[in-house]
Amino acid sequence: MAHNLDKYFETVLKITKEAGKIIRQRIWDVKTVQTKSSAIDFVTEVDQQVEKFIIDDITSHFPDHKFIGEESSAEGHKITLTDDPTWIIDPIDGTMNFVHGYPNICISIGLLVNKVTEIGIIYNPVLEQLFTARKGQGAFYNDKPIHVSGKKVISEALLAMEFGSSRDPEKMRVVQENVKILYPLAHGMRSVGSAALNMANVALGGIDGYFEMGIHAWDMAAGDIIVREAGGVVIDPTGSPFDLMSGKVLCAASLELAQQLSATVKQYTPSRDN
């Protein structure tokens, strides 16, 4: 079946911007906060409302399309990805930031067709930052083409990593080890609180490398294509090919930097999404 990817992209970009208005209105309000996999893994009524808004609106245009959404994927249940056009959605990536009113949050949406990523959209409606990519057509920040920095060595890199929302002692130990290892080696370390925004920042050339172990497909689907279309490299932190369902990612401004980071960081294997 032929897919009208131009139409999919234009329609879902409009829907994403509409959904962004809900987030922009609520960022500094009091929210109802519930916990998910740990005492610091949050969901608010706004995450749920935004995900429903996006899924309902896409369904009204494309009734055959499938969805994998952070808030509608039952906690702990495995995801099944088919060849059908599938929108992988994080309605608010950076929920902890959203709960606190720290405006580094975004909607992250990737489209896979035949299990290949075709479209990536990352939109921060509070700071008006829009990152997009289409397969083979480059990556864009607020409609201007973007490119990774090209940095090749850790000693010249500004790196991003995250502390995460898990209280698993092994995960926390690995995060602390990696801070200890990288902090003296790199130019600097940053943590914005959103996997999608970290990846977008690598695509933009502002961050040279980012890795995280213990996230999900909806955190990475859009960022993966945006980084690659900006000329960057996306791999598994072990150095193997990237696997969207693995719960981990390493992306960088060059293959050399990706490989050096992979050889340097301590590894943690989270549970898979599928």
Residues that are catalytic: 70, 90, 92-93, 95, 219
Nearer to ligand LIP, 55 or 113 (CB): 55
Q: Which of 70, 118, 208, 224 binds ligand LIP (CB under 6 A)?
A: 70
Pairing of strands 144-145, 188-190: unpaired
Q: Does 146 bind ligand LIP (CB under 6 A)?
A: no
Reduced to 3 states, what is the DSSP secondary structure of residue 264?
helix
Residues 153-182 that bind ligand LIP (CB under 6 A): 162, 164-165
The DSSP line for 59-96 is: HHH-TT-EEEETTTSPTTPPP---SS-EEEEEEEE-HH
Size of the site for ligand LIP (CB under 6 A): 13
Q: How far is the CB of 194 from ligand LIP (least distance, A)?
A: 4
Sheet order of strands, 116-124 included: 66-69, 86-93, 106-113, 116-124, 129-134, 139-141, 144-145
Q: How many CB atoms lie within 10 A of CB 215?
A: 24
Residues 202-221 that bind ligand LIP (CB under 6 A): 212, 215, 219
Q: How far is the CB of 160 from ligand LIP (least distance, A)?
A: 9
Encoded one letter per residue, x for contact with ligand LIP by CB under 6 A and - for no contact, window 80-109 reads ----------x--xxx--------------
Structure tokens that stand for 83 in this block: 């060849």
Nearer to ligand LIP, 113 or 159 (CB): 159
Q: How far is the CB of 226 from ligand LIP (least distance, A)?
A: 14
CB 188 within 8 A of CB 96: no
Q: How far is the CB of 217 from ligand LIP (least distance, A)?
A: 11
- Separation of alpha carbons 119 and 140, rounded Å: 12
